[in-house]
Chain A
Amino acid sequence: MKTGYEKIYERPDTLLSTRMHYCPGCMHAIVHKLIAELIDEMKLQEKTVGVCPVGCSVFAYDYIDIDWQEAAHGRAAALATAIKRMLPDRLVFSYQGDGDLAAIGTAETIHACNRGEQFTFIFINNAIYGMTGGQMAPTTLEGMKTTTSPYGRLAKTAGMPLKMCELVSQFDGVAFAQRVSCNNPANVRRTKKAIQRAFEIQQQGLGTTFVEVVSNCPSNWKCTPEVSLQKVKEEMLPYFPLGVYKEPRS
């Protein structure tokens, strides 16, 4: 370090030094970094159990230095339910993509929310199945081209994209639901605050907490990271508005 200067940011301790396999500019990695920063700041490293999904983030357990369990595709909410019920003093979160949480795992997600299970969902909505090569997801935008919607998603046959924050916020069991994004520095800072809020509400035992991150997938959207952020702003956010959808009753 140069003299006359102090260090104000460095890689969080809880983020292991393993090189993350994510494509350049993928928001999965930004969210991993934020989770690791929060676990450091909230001193929760010994107390946290994550549940990772099947999807690009399947190896999250190799990157964030906490206890993890790997769920079968879509079953993260069921596993997180079991962990939190057996170990109620732990901070428990599931980390899931849109294919995982809102397609194959819809039933698990909705029923865990309806039961008010006391864990946090961290939901990465990149409007596509990233890991398997870019198939249409329940959250794929109308008109968006994917390998299974080569002419663009048709609302007539595929319906409109699922809005999970709006959906889960209707359940009495859900205490907190917020939709955020990581498309610019201000929004990354808001995402961190939202996850912190969710963790705190979980610790107060107020109900299910749900954070949806409107994310990107430069590789399967077939664009540069820069263009993917423009698409988040211009195409994703108008349909998936950011904001707090549910607050704990005071």
Chain B
Amino acid sequence: MPAKGYVEIDKEVCKGCNLCVLNCPTKCLALNTTDTNSHGLHYAYQADEEKCIACMNCSVMCPDAAITVYKKTE
């Protein structure tokens, strides 16, 4: 079954605060601990797209408005 949603995270805007990761109910986000953005910060990314339910908890929590949320239509 295709995922109910997915997110895009602007890695240059992300500050790696982890609040999206902590508040995702399906635990499909993670901080990239091997790479950094140009500010030297580990950034968040969607590690498991299949689990996203487009609930927007991550974008609601993100202080820097780095997250765009997409929902499956119909």
Contact = CB atoms under 8 A, between A and B. Distances in A.
Nearest to A30: B63
B67 to A, nearest CB: 7
**Contact size range, B:** 20 to 34
A188 B54 contact: no
Interface string A49-75: 000000000000000000000000000
A226 interface: yes
A5 B56 contact: no
A185 to B, nearest CB: 4
B18 A33 contact: no
B73 A19 contact: no
Nearest to A188: B60
Nearest to B7: A9
Given A225-B18, A225-B19, A229-B19, A6 B63 contact: no
Contact of B61 (A5, A23, A188, A224): A188
B23 interface: yes
A224 B54 CA distance: 27
Contacts of A229: 19, 22
Interface in A16-72: 19-20, 22-30, 33, 36
A189 B61 CA distance: 9
A19 B39 CA distance: 11
Contacts of A11: 65-66, 68
A5 B69 CA distance: 10
A37 to B, nearest CB: 9
B6 A2 contact: yes
Interface string B47-63: 00000001011011111
Interface in B26-74: 41, 54, 56-57, 59-73
Contacts of B23: 184-185
Contact of A27 (B13, B22, B59, B63): B63
A86 interface: no
Contacts of A224: 18
A76 interface: no
Interface of B: 2, 5-6, 13, 15-19, 22-23, 41, 54, 56-57, 59-73
Interface of A: 1-2, 4-12, 15, 19-20, 22-30, 33, 36, 182, 184-185, 188-189, 224-226, 229
